């Protein structure tokens, strides 16, 4: 009885495999869908009644199994590399010349060309004709095991057809979502009130990386083979194109637009033809892939670090459309940069619906001569970032309005600064601007600033997200009881943070100036300011002319300093910090005739410094009169050595040079 059931199952499986190939590979189905469904239901019923007879290559296994906890890693026996790009016929000619120069006797006359599908590269491993493993490309050397998800893709055979296939063969190709399937998927999502996918590539990638393969099984994914990797137990054709035909004969689908071409001019014509028909194709593409057809020539040419020398992706120009500019909004980034964002009449371009585009800065607005109400040409540069490239002047309405760049920050109302020679305008409210809050606080507590131990990035983000702090001064108002409400912050950890904040109140003027996050005021500049002016009050009151007299400070940094301290809100935060106990030792004035302790000395720094940043230490030494160099020589007077000092320390010892520690340097500064 069991034997007859097994025979029936094998016949059903073979029949279903055959019809799947006719439908997905040959594109010539022999039975209507209802008949295929009837055969599948018959198979499912018998397997349900006889679970011990279910095989891994059964068509029933396409429905998906139990969810996974995570994806395991798969090492690629042969790396899955990416492709270099060409963007013009000249680039293609240069590619061809590089090959000819490297392999002048190789057969480089014939090419295999195919559309460059916008999907996800995968590797399929067949052993004795059965699919046993599927993996993503990953970083090229290691990918993720997605076998269970790939089994659900109808166009991928679970068992190879025909005969003559190798005992072990790795087939590589692209998993993608056809346009029609993508549209239906999004229509269904909209009806359910769920989030829609941005484009077919994102949909394919998201579907393929589901931990629950039953979800993948419901997604309209497809596959086209484009090459082979590991091959054992059989010889394949020496022609890349003929290998495609071999794969097709074994039930693996190939892109119907794949062509074998006999000259570079034919390749260029193929590129133009595919680009012309791009929108009519059933799938998204962003160029064509051109490969030397002769396998022996491929092996002779070999690879560079990340790509084969015998293949290239000839990318399409960015797609363009015309739409209406309805408005311009000004967004403030985390560093204070103010970016004008064009609000557009939604338009489908480059595979996605675009409703926003960057205008970059005031110079770009002036260059384009664009106004609100204009018809504008939108391009998705690289098929990724939408931008306005031109104005359709003859469509400009009388009601078009000039775009006025704001003088005040749209978030915090602080003054907007634009330094001469820079294109970007920035908010000067670094300590109070909500848009810059997280970055300002992260910088304030960083090791080279006030160095608050235990107050890391995740804690700062929680404090801001929960609206518990707005400015650096608010940090010193926190109590341990308040901090314990944060994730993974127990009473002891919270008390440690409060203790670290109290400890950080004792600092130096240089560190305090650096902690304020004034643009282009790094450790060395902060040290120079402190040594030159001696007090915070003098730094705040310094004029542009006085600032440029300081070592290493030019017009731009001076402008940033005056802009920062001219903002009343910034000065108010500084005052709060002082009231809350932030302090530093006074810097003593040197007598006019007093020689600096390291005046005229040639000094070298080496090793890791635990209490000072390298730039801060260098600035401190220069302020003490030293000339700081990068290498040890007979002219070196002193070597300051931190931890793990290497060859410089050895050389200094050999030359009998005076060696001091980081503690000696700190004592000198104090």
* Residues 358, 385 contacting (CB under 8 angstroms): yes
112 assigned to a ligand binding site: no
Q: Which of 116, 159, 442, 618 is catalytic?
A: 116
Structure tokens that stand for 177 in this block: 């979502």
Give, in degrees to the nearest 5, the angle at Cα 252 between 145 and 156: 45
Please count the CA atoms within 13 angstroms of the CA of 481 that sit on its side-chain side: 0
433 assigned to a ligand binding site: yes
Structure tokens that stand for 450 in this block: 């006030």
Give me the helices (H) in 85-218, please: 89-102, 147-150, 179-192, 200-208, 213-217
* Residues 152, 63 contacting (CB under 8 angstroms): yes
Q: What residues pair up with 67 in beta bridges, in sequence order?
A: none
Give, in degrees to the nearest 5, the angle at Cα 516 between 513 and 521: 60
83 assigned to a ligand binding site: yes
Residue carrying the six token digits 């309209």: 220
Task: Provide the 3-class DSSP secondary structure of residue 116.
Answer: strand
114 assigned to a ligand binding site: yes
| Strand (E) or helix (H) holding 173 | strand 168-176
Q: How many helices (H) and strands (E) does the chain have?
A: 25, 22
* Residues 306, 81 contacting (CB under 8 angstroms): yes
CA distances from 101 to 43, 106, 301 (A): 58, 10, 10
314 assigned to a ligand binding site: no
**Cα gap 377→354, rounded to integer Å:** 12
579 assigned to a ligand binding site: no
* Residues 640, 662 contacting (CB under 8 angstroms): yes
**Cα gap 251→272, rounded to integer Å:** 30
36 assigned to a ligand binding site: yes
427 assigned to a ligand binding site: no
Structure tokens that stand for 236 in this block: 């394949």
Please count the CA atoms within 13 angstroms of the CA of 459 that sit on its side-chain side: 23
| Among candidate residues 625, 632, 628, 637, the one with its CA nearest the CA of residue 669 | 625
- The residue count of the chain comes to 670
- Residue 250 dihedral angles phi and psi, to the nearest 5°: -95, 5
74 assigned to a ligand binding site: no
561 assigned to a ligand binding site: no
| Strand (E) or helix (H) holding 271 | helix 264-276
* Residues 462, 442 contacting (CB under 8 angstroms): no
477 is catalytic: no
**Cα gap 202→213, rounded to integer Å:** 17
Pairing assessment for the beta strands 285-292 and 311-315 based on DSSP bridges: antiparallel
CB atoms within 10 A of CB 75: 10
DSSP string for 310-337? TEEEEEPPPPEEEEEEEEEEEEE-TTSE
Residue carrying the six token digits 């019923």: 45
459 assigned to a ligand binding site: no
615 assigned to a ligand binding site: no
**Cα gap 485→377, rounded to integer Å:** 51
315 assigned to a ligand binding site: yes
Please report the sign of the dihedral spanned by the C-alpha atoms of residue 174, residue 21, residue 212, residue 58. negative
* Residues 476, 581 contacting (CB under 8 angstroms): yes
**Cα gap 431→148, rounded to integer Å:** 51
* Residues 533, 561 contacting (CB under 8 angstroms): no
**Cα gap 450→167, rounded to integer Å:** 64
Which residues are tagged catalytic?
A: 116
Task: Write out the binding residues for NAD(+).
Answer: 33-37, 82-83, 114, 137, 174, 291, 315
Task: Write out the binding residues.
Answer: 33-37, 82-83, 114, 137, 174, 291, 315, 409, 412, 433
Task: Write out the binding residues for Zn(2+).
Answer: 409, 412, 433
């Amino acid at each position: 009885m069991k034997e007859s059931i097994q025979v029936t199952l094998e016949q059903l499986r073979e029949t279903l495999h055959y019809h799947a190939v006719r439908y997905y590979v040959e594109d010539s189905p022999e039975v209507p869908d209802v008949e295929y469904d009837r055969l599948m239901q018959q198979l499912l019923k018998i397997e349900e009644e006889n679970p011990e007879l279910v095989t891994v290559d059964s068509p029933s296994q396409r429905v998906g199994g139990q969810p996974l906890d995570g994806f395991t890693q798969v090492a690629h026996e042969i790396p899955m590399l990416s492709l270099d790009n060409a963007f013009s016929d000249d680039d293609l000619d240069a590619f061809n010349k590089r090959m000819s120069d490297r392999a002048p006797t190789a057969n480089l006359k014939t090419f295999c060309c195919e559309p460059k599908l916008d999907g996800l590269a995968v590797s399929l491993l067949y052993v004795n004709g059965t699919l046993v493993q599927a993996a993503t490309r990953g970083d090229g050397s290691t990918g993720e095991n997605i076998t269970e998800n790939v089994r659900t893709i109808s166009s991928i055979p679970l068992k190879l057809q025909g005969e003559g296939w190798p005992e072990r063969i790795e087939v590589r190709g692209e998993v993608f979502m056809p346009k029609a399937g993508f549209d239906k998927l999004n229509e269904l999502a909209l009806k359910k009130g769920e989030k829609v996918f941005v484009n077919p590539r994102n949909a394919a990638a998201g579907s393929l990386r589901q931990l629950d393969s039953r979800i993948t099984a419901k997604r309209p994914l497809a596959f086209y083979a484009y090459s082979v990797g590991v091959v054992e137990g059989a010889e394949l054709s020496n022609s890349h194109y003929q290998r495609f035909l071999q794969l097709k004969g074994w039930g693996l689908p190939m892109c119907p637009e794949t062509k074998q071409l006999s000259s570079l001019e034919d390749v260029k014509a193929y590129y133009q033809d595919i680009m012309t028909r791009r929108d009519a194709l059933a799938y998204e593409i962003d160029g064509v892939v051109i490969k030397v057809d002769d396998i022996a020539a491929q092996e002779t040419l070999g690879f560079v670090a990340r790509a084969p020398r015998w293949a290239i992706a000839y990318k399409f120009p960015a797609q363009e459309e015309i739409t209406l500019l309805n408005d311009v909004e000004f967004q403030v980034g985390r560093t204070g940069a103010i970016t004008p964002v064009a609000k557009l009449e939604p338009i489908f371009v480059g595979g996605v619906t675009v409703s926003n585009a960057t205008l970059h800065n005031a110079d770009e607005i002036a260059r384009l001569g664009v106004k609100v109400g204009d018809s504008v040409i939108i391009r998705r540069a690289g098929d990724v970032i939408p931008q306005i490239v031109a104005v359709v002047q003859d469509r400009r309405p009388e009601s078009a309005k000039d775009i006025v760049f704001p003088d005040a920050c749209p978030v915090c109302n602080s003054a907007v600064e634009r330094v001469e020679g820079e294109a970007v305008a920035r908010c000067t409210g670094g300590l109070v601007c909500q848009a810059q809050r997280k970055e300002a606080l992260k910088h304030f507590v960083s090791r080279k600033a006030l160095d608050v131990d235990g107050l890391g990035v995740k804690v700062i983000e929680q404090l801001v997200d929960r609206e518990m702090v707005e400015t650096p001064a608010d940090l010193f108002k926190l109590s341990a009881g308040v901090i314990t409400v944060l994730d993974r912050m127990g009473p002891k950890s919270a008390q440690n943070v409060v203790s670290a904040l109290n400890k950080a109140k004792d600092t130096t003027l240089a560190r305090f100036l650096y902690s304020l996050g004034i643009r282009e005021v790094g450790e060395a500049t902060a040290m120079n300011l402190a040594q030159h002016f001696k007090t915070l009050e003098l730094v705040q009151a310094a004029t542009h002319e006085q600032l440029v007299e300081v070592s290493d400070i030019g017009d731009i940094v001076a402008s940033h300093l005056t802009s920062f301290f001219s903002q009343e809100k910034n000065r108010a935060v500084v005052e709060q910090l002082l009231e809350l106990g932030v302090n530093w030792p006074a810097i003593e004035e040197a007598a006019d005739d007093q020689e600096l302790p390291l005046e005229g000395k040639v000094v070298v720094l080496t090793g890791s410094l635990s209490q000072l940043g390298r730039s801060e230490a260098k600035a401190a030494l220069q302020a003490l009169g030293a000339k700081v160099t990068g290498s040890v020589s007979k002219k070196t007077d002193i070597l300051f050595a931190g931890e793990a000092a290497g060859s410089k320390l050895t050389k200094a010892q050999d030359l009998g040079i005076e060696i001091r520690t980081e503690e000696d340097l700190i004592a000198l500064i104090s």
